[in-house]
Chain A
Amino acid sequence: MSVTDINWFKYSSPQALYPLAGKLTPWFSALAVILMGAGLYIGLLLAPTDFQQGDSYRIIFVHVPAAWMSMFLYVVMALWAAIGLGLKARPSYMMAQAIAPTGAMFTFLALLTGSLWGKPTWGTWWVWDARLTSELILFFLYLGVMLLRTSIDDARRADRASAVFALVGVVNVPIIYFSVQWWNTLHQGASVSATAAPKMAAMMLLAMLIMSLGFWMYSIAVILARLRCVIREREERSSVAGQVERPVAVGGV
């Protein structure tokens, strides 16, 4: 069966999305556990110590993947927001809504682990350099998207407002990424990039990439599980409010 034989638009309705998300979640959860376990094992036990920092560098196996995910998830969220605005499609808004808390969690994790690493390495928990400040702004953008949604009662208006907010905030992502190139920062440049050879030992790199994959799988699992909550929540709200919206048949709970 080729890809074109599947009717992809089937999944653009919440009714079809709900059971699909339920079926996929356990698989991605299992992959996340396996990959993160392997990544931590390689990173904490097999990878060599660093020539300058000793063992404290090992926090990068959480810090760097978390920081990558925080930026990547924001772009994905903004993409769904744009599709939602363009197609007026409710499931796109639901995806954007489901992504925001996970993105905020990874941003917080990146800031926290960075701070824990900064104290022994730089000699300070926090500095207001361009990289750290723009990542903090990313955290506030996530919170802003989530707060804006909860502060508006009408679901359709809440969707549109938070989608516009998410889209406006997307300019911050390239600023975070390129901040270490554009300005003098305390934060070091990228050790791994698409254009240059990695500036770290192969075993360290392997652990970091496996951890990143694990974070991806975790994100997909959690976002799909949250998507189900979002679908049910909205359905309940609309049926309580007695709106004309057709109740969604939810099966296999």
Chain B
Amino acid sequence: MTPRKKRFSLIGLGLAGLGIAVALVLNAFQSNLVFFFTPTQVVNGEVPRDRSFRIGGMVEAGTLARDSDGLTVHFVVSDTVKRVPVVYKGILPDLFKEGKGAVAQGRLGQDGTFIASEVLAKHDENYMPPEAAEAIAKAKAAGQQSSKTLVVTP
């Protein structure tokens, strides 16, 4: 083997080793790297009880309700398998809508209601003009959703 080939194979080996090491580390920290928990994880009790965390999913259509004070909102976050009711007092982002994704930070109350201190809209990867969106909405059966990243595939 020429010195040149040797150097290149050393670089290749080094990179392969590094890649494996990083893959193992990321795998070990898998559960710490998620930005939010899904409603299924919340219902199954896989979430921290005593500290705040984030929950993410689709805002279920027809569940958004506003209290008479005009600030407190109630809605249900769902991943199409499990549902978690959320209560939040504050201003919602512009793109927060029923049937769209949202991520809320807060704690789980005693009664299983998630008390949010911050709500973010999770945008999906679809970009289209309004006319196209209308056409798709008409064509699709009700209840079906567009963002793949929030759906739990059984």
Seen from chain A, the residues whose Cβ lies within 8 Å of a Cβ on chain B are: 48-53, 57, 60, 82, 85-88, 120-124, 127-130, 167-168, 170-171, 175, 180, 182-186, 188-191, 199-201, 204
Is B38 interfacial (CB-CB < 8 Å)?
yes
- Distance in angstroms between the alpha carbons of A182 and B18 in the assembled complex: 19
Which one of B94, B96, B103, B125 has the highest number of Cβ atoms from chain A below 10 Å of its Cβ? B125
Of chain A, the residue at the smallest CB distance from B92 is A123
Majority-rule SS of B interface residues: mixed
Which residues of chain A are within 8 angstroms of B37 by Cβ–Cβ distance? 184
Q: With A188-B149, A189-B125, A199-B127 in contact, is A171–B18 under 8 Å at CB?
A: yes
Seen from chain B, the residues whose Cβ lies within 8 Å of a Cβ on chain A are: 4, 7-8, 11, 14-15, 18-19, 22, 26, 30, 33-38, 56, 92-97, 100, 103, 118-134, 147-149
Q: Contact check: which of A60, A120, A188 meets B94 at CB < 8 Å?
A: A120
Indicate if the CB atoms of B126 and A191 lie closer than 8 Å. yes
- Distance in angstroms between the alpha carbons of A53 and B100 in the assembled complex: 12
Q: Contact check: which of A86, A120, A167, A188 meets B125 at CB < 8 Å?
A: A188
- Distance in angstroms between the alpha carbons of A46 and B52 in the assembled complex: 45
Which residues of chain A are within 8 angstroms of B123 by Cβ–Cβ distance? 52-53, 121-122, 188
Of chain B, the residue at the smallest CB distance from A85 is B11
Which residues of chain A are within 8 angstroms of B126 by Cβ–Cβ distance? 191, 199-200
Which residues of chain A are within 8 angstroms of B8 by Cβ–Cβ distance? 82, 86
What are 21 of the A-B contact pairs (CB < 8 Å)? A48-B131, A50-B127, A50-B129, A51-B128, A51-B129, A52-B123, A52-B133, A53-B95, A82-B8, A85-B11, A86-B11, A87-B4, A128-B35, A175-B22, A188-B122, A188-B124, A188-B125, A189-B147, A190-B125, A191-B127, A201-B129
Q: Contact check: which of A50, A121, A130 meets B121 at CB < 8 Å?
A: A121
Which residues of chain B are within 8 angstroms of A49 by Cβ–Cβ distance? 129-130
Q: With A167-B15, A184-B36 in contact, is A122–B127 under 8 Å at CB?
A: no
Of chain A, the residue at the smallest CB distance from B103 is A186
Distance in Å: Cβ of B31 to nearest Cβ of chain A:
10
8 further interface pairs, Cβ-Cβ under 8 Å (given A121-B123, A186-B103): A53-B123, A85-B11, A86-B4, A121-B93, A167-B14, A185-B35, A186-B35, A188-B125
Which one of A170, A184, A191 has the highest number of Cβ atoms from chain B below 10 Å of its Cβ? A184
Which residues of chain A are within 8 angstroms of B26 by Cβ–Cβ distance? 175, 182
Of chain B, the residue at the smallest CB distance from A163 is B11
Distance in Å: Cβ of A75 to nearest Cβ of chain B:
12
- Distance in angstroms between the alpha carbons of A167 and B132 in the assembled complex: 45
Indicate if the CB atoms of A51 and B33 lie closer than 8 Å. no
Lowest 3 A-B CB distances belong to which pairs? A123-B93, A48-B129, A51-B133
- Distance in angstroms between the alpha carbons of A51 and B129 in the assembled complex: 5
